[in-house]
Amino acid sequence: MPFELSTIPCLSDNYAYLIHDAKTGATALVDAPEAGPILDVLAEKGWTLSDVLITHHHYDHVDGLAEILAAHPARVIGAAADAHRLPPLDLALNDGDTVQIGSETGSVIDVSGHTIHHVAYHFPASKLVFTADSLMALGCGRVFEGTKPQMWDSLQKLVALPGDTTVCSGHEYTAANAKFALTIDPDNPDLISRVRDVTDKRASGLPTVPSLLSEELATNPFLRAHDPAIQAHLGMTGANATDVFTEIRTRKDNF
Ligand code: ZN
Ligand code: FE
């Protein structure tokens, strides 16, 4: 049986996620922007936290951790290479390592770019990937520490996952991402209809995440640097995908 997934809005535009394994009772939190909303969901569901998976060191992904651990002592998991700037880790992992949450095995994917040693967590049986500030709905994270080519390489690891994987990203940035995406890929009918859907959801106060990887492949300009229509629109026909991605990311930085 796949994990039960709970998407939890935190702070002004962050998301945390809980995954619950009904078979074993294990419950893992992905990122801890703030304690209150996460503790509320744990109480409502009657779940006891067993594990916390941290994606990267930014405050809006870890600041709630101490308060959550005070109520739910849990195993804290993160990137070994970032242990010096993450909260204390009980399990420090590297790219390609596996992590057991209840009855399910996940894998750690290094997706450096937004930060160096940002990691994603993939749970193939439940078809979930937690991408935080790497791959986002209609977007990707701003490149603070790595290089844009490095972010492109990181995104390639995520696009290699099955298309029916659910992408659980870290922020509600989709409406702004949609506006930008239309400047890059204005004639893409899948994008146009997704933007309509995003606008409707936000007007109703609904989250636009998680999304499906197949949907990102069809509409997210940051994954579509190979696309001839986008290349033509940017005057970059025949350019290599890394350069096209770099141009798209640069335009977004200045949007
Ligand atoms: Zn971040
Ligand atoms: Fe963030």
Domain span at residue 26?
4-169
End-to-end CA distance of the chain: 43
Residues 29-43 have a mean pLDDT of: 98
Distances (CA, A) of 227 to 1, 85, 96, 154: 37, 38, 29, 18
CA 52 to chain centre: 15
Residues 61-88 have a mean pLDDT of: 98
Which pLDDT value is given to residue 44? 98
* End position of a domain, from candidates 123, 151, 169: 169
* Same domain flag for 102 and 25: yes
pLDDT digits (tens, 9 = 90+) for 9-23: 999 999 999 999 999
CB 223 within 8 A of CB 241: no
| pTM greater than 0.75 | yes
Ligand 1 center to 110 CA (angstroms)? 14
Ligand 2 center to 12 CA (angstroms)? 11
pLDDT digits (tens, 9 = 90+) for 160-169: 999 999 999 9
Give the count of domains, the chain.
2
Ligand that comes closest to the CA of residue 118: 1
Query: What whole-number percentage of the chain has pLDDT above 70?
Result: 100
* End position of a domain, from candidates 148, 169, 190: 169
Counting other chains too, the contacts that 77-83 makes at CB distance below 8 Å and 24 or more residues apart are: 77/51, 77/52, 77/53, 78/53, 78/54, 78/119, 79/54, 79/108, 79/110, 79/117, 79/118, 79/119, 81/116, 81/117, 82/56, 82/57, 82/115, 82/116, 82/117
Ligand 1 center to 171 CA (angstroms)? 9
Ligand 2 center to 135 CA (angstroms)? 12
Cross-strand pairs, 195: none
Ligand 2 center to 239 CA (angstroms)? 31
* Same domain flag for 83 and 150: yes
* Same domain flag for 98 and 205: no
Q: Which ranges constitute the DSSP H helices of the chain?
A: 35-45, 59-62, 65-71, 148-159, 174-184, 189-203, 213-219, 228-233, 241-253
Residues 149-154 have a mean pLDDT of: 98
* Same domain flag for 160 and 236: no
CATH number at residue 31: 3.60.15.10
Ligand that comes closest to the CA of residue 56: 1
pLDDT digits (tens, 9 = 90+) for 169-215: 999 999 999 999 999 999 999 999 999 999 999 999 999 999 999 99
Strand-pair category, 166-169 with 104-110: unpaired
Which pLDDT value is given to residue 83? 98
pLDDT band at 77 (very low <50, low <70, confident <90, very high): very high
Ligand 2 center to 223 CA (angstroms)? 20
Which pLDDT value is given to residue 158? 98
Q: What is the mean pLDDT of the chain?
A: 98
Ligand 2 center to 132 CA (angstroms)? 7
* Same domain flag for 234 and 148: no
Ligand 1 center to 77 CA (angstroms)? 17
